[in-house]
Structure 1
Amino acid sequence: MEHADVCRDELPRLDDADTEDVAAAFRSLAERRLLMPMSAENRRYAAAPPDAAVEALIRPLVQQARRAQNAADRLRRELVPVYESALERRLRQPLFEELPDVPSVRRALERFAAEAEREVLTSQPGGARKEEVLREAMDRTEAMLQRGVRMRTLYQHTAQYNPGTAAYVEIVSGLGAEVRTLGEGFMRMIAFDGEIVVIEQKGNPKAALVVREPSVVSFAVAAFELMWLQADPFPVNLGRAQAIQVSDKTKEDIIRLLIQGESDKVIARRMGMTVRTCQRHIAKIMERIGAKSRVHAGYLLREHEGNLVISDSPDRSGND
């Protein structure tokens, strides 16, 4: 070759190679940077040493890898402090925290509700809820439902007879909440995202305990799920048939507690009704089975347990 550079058209023709083969070989050498353009028009090329060709080929890959590494470092600088801060904050939080009074309970519930992302589970024994409590809960509930947080609530059967509770359930059900009722035997609690549970303190209904211990929280959520499967949907409009059904279930629960020997006061508390309403139910049961006293009623109920049918027109009083 007389020149240090060459144009593709000037390539010597080989006896056993045609033009297409020569052109393909030229392109292959150029792609591998073994032929480098000598001008902007890329009309003339010069041979390049292999080490320079390798450098030209890997340079873009190295630059791309460097950009990816820089992006990863930037994300690490941005995210790791956030994660570490959140982890540190969680580690600092106690597994059990006492809320000594109603204001502290309300502040905690408002904070947990605002931070909830997936699901809130609520069980509220005690029958009808006070209107002031329902008004306070409405804003929290509406905000969570609008964020797409799933909400499930358990009440006692007797709550169905209370107009205020029924109106509240109608509103939140329209927003997507799920509400069911059960006779008795469940605790008052609110679980947030399966991570935090707020339960009522024993002997002090105005105080609460915040539980973050994973095993305890998991147990409380599992207990709720079991009760949820046994519960009935809360009817927004309580018709006669539903009212009779609720009344019958209430009497069945009272009979079970009578057989266990519980007092009127304990039965009333566990059924979510006043003592006077409970005594009225017990009087009707005694009249129906022909009992002359509480002792006689207990004997008859034990003798005929499982075979008694106590059903009559519903007592729509629920709670006095």
Structure 2
Amino acid sequence: MELPERIDAVEPSGDTSQAVYRFALRQTAVTAADVAAALALDVGAAEDHCAQLADLGLLAEDTRASPTVFRAVDPETAGERVLGPLERVIRTRRQRAEEVRTRLLEFSQVYEEQPVRTDSRGTVEFLASLSSTRAAIVELAAKCESEVLTAQPGGGRRAEVLEEAISRDEAMLRSGVRMRTLYQHTARFSPGTREYVDRVSRMGAEVRTLDDQFIRVLLFDRRAAVIGVESDPGSAIIVREPNLIHFIAETFDLWWLNAAPFPLEWSNQEVADIADQLKQRIALLLSEGLTDQTIAKRMGMSVRTCRRHIAEIMERLGAKSRFQAGFLLSARTEVFTAPEEPGAPEDR
């Protein structure tokens, strides 16, 4: 299912477009020429504004008439018509991302069962220590020619890790390598991570965040991938097998489509929106009966912060226990959220 072609690019200029919409509301039907005459616009500008409002669903256009006739539509009806397909696409992609996550976990379990860590062609290699993992990443980064994709779950990154990464990443960016990086939403509240993102973004890197956990992976030129080992954070697997590389790249692209851009400057509303998304995800995981520790790990935050969010959700539900909260959440669809203060750390 594809997104509507133009809705994601609609940016009507506020005052003029509102004036066009207000004029259309007072008429049974209007043309672009009517709008131009009434609002002292040239016909081309009037056509653009009518087209933009039509993309938003606020004007219904009848192309059978000549010239095209527009009729005003109330915003609620417009929202149902335009946002409905988009929301269905998002739900479908999130479901697909969950399916991919499950498949990746199945691959990890299969790998862990194998006594030999390298196949006969040397396309899969196990790195048993943090030093060997870092050395491999440095080597792959030095040879990278066109693209590096990075998925780093777990919230904000440690200062020493960022210091090690920044010079390597800046060198790749200076050489023309395209860089896309994924974090979890909680990384937005880490000052060190924000500083790192600011530096690499100014050099052309793209950074986005997701509300849920994903697998740690670095993919170089879609030829070699370094994948973290769940049971041993210092270890890693290097994959060069083409079919697995294709699967990893497709998975990353799915994550990327569902992620939101990492903002370099905050607004109160953006902070509130991210806090709401975090609480929505925590509420969902709570309704599934997961423990505080499991939820915290999935969300990339400390257990203490996770329990604070859970307490706020339970208070809004009026629940006296986790069991009661889970029951109420499974029976209700409302989102129980409250805005956070700007800059409040999510992983304390």
Aligned equivalents of 1:92, 1:265: Cα separation in 2: 39
Q: What does 1:254-293 correspond to in 2, within 5 Å?
A: 254-293=282-321
| Secondary structure in structure 1 of the residue aligned to 2:337 | coil
> Normalization by structure 2: what TM-score?
0.64
CA drift of 1:317 comes to 2.1
Q: Does 1:98 align with 2:133?
A: no
Q: Which sections of structure 1, spanning at least 5 residues, go unmatched?
A: 1-90
Q: Which amino acid aligns with 2:194?
A: A
Q: Does 1:313 align with 2:340?
A: yes
**Does the CA-based 8 Å contact 1:247-1:314 persist in structure 2?**
no
**Does the CA-based 8 Å contact 2:229-2:235 persist in structure 1?**
yes
2:196 is matched with 168
Q: Which amino acid aligns with 2:312?
A: K
Aligned equivalents of 1:136, 1:92: Cα separation in 2: 33
Q: Which amino acid aligns with 2:253?
A: E
Q: Does 1:207 align with 2:215?
A: no
Q: Which amino acid aligns with 1:313?
A: E
Aligned equivalents of 1:221, 1:98: Cα separation in 2: 20
**Does the CA-based 8 Å contact 2:273-2:339 persist in structure 1?**
no
Equivalent position to 2:185, from 144, 154, 157: 157
**Does the CA-based 8 Å contact 2:279-2:336 persist in structure 1?**
no
Consecutive aligned runs of 4 or more in structure 1 exceeding 4 Å deviation: none
Aligned equivalents of 1:119, 1:308: Cα separation in 2: 39
2:107 is matched with none
**Does the CA-based 8 Å contact 2:217-2:225 persist in structure 1?**
yes
Q: Does 1:195 align with 2:187?
A: no
Q: Which amino acid aligns with 2:294?
A: V
Q: What do residues 186-239 of structure 1 show as CA deviations (whole Å, max 9, x unaligned)?
A: 110000001111001130011100001111111111000001001000011222
CA drift of 1:261 comes to 1.1
**Does the CA-based 8 Å contact 2:155-2:300 persist in structure 1?**
yes
Q: What does 1:115-194 correspond to in 2, within 5 Å?
A: 115-194=143-222
Aligned equivalents of 2:316, 2:334: Cα separation in 1: 13
Q: Which amino acid aligns with 1:253?
A: R
1:19 is matched with none
1:88 is matched with none
Equivalent position to 2:142, from 114, 117, 120: 114
Structure showing greater radius of gyration is 1
Aligned equivalents of 2:236, 2:339: Cα separation in 1: 39
Q: What do residues 41-70 of structure 1 show as CA deviations (whole Å, max 9, x unaligned)?
A: xxxxxxxxxxxxxxxxxxxxxxxxxxxxxx
Aligned equivalents of 2:120, 2:283: Cα separation in 1: 48
Q: Which sections of structure 2, spanning at least 5 residues, go unmatched?
A: 1-118
CA drift of 1:92 comes to 9.0
How many residues of Structure 1 are paired with residues of Structure 2 in the alignment?
229
**Does the CA-based 8 Å contact 2:153-2:215 persist in structure 1?**
yes
Aligned equivalents of 1:210, 1:199: Cα separation in 2: 6
Aligned equivalents of 1:93, 1:172: Cα separation in 2: 36
1:57 is matched with none
**Does the CA-based 8 Å contact 1:101-1:207 persist in structure 2?**
yes
Q: Which amino acid aligns with 2:339?
A: D
Identical columns (%): 47
CA drift of 1:240 comes to 1.3
**Does the CA-based 8 Å contact 2:225-2:240 persist in structure 1?**
yes
Aligned equivalents of 2:340, 2:166: Cα separation in 1: 33
**Does the CA-based 8 Å contact 1:264-1:278 persist in structure 2?**
yes
Q: Does 1:303 align with 2:331?
A: yes
Q: Which amino acid aligns with 2:160?
A: E
> Normalization by structure 1: what TM-score?
0.70
Aligned equivalents of 2:121, 2:203: Cα separation in 1: 33
| Secondary structure in structure 1 of the residue aligned to 2:266 | coil
Aligned equivalents of 1:197, 1:314: Cα separation in 2: 38
Aligned equivalents of 2:169, 2:335: Cα separation in 1: 41
Aligned equivalents of 1:125, 1:110: Cα separation in 2: 20
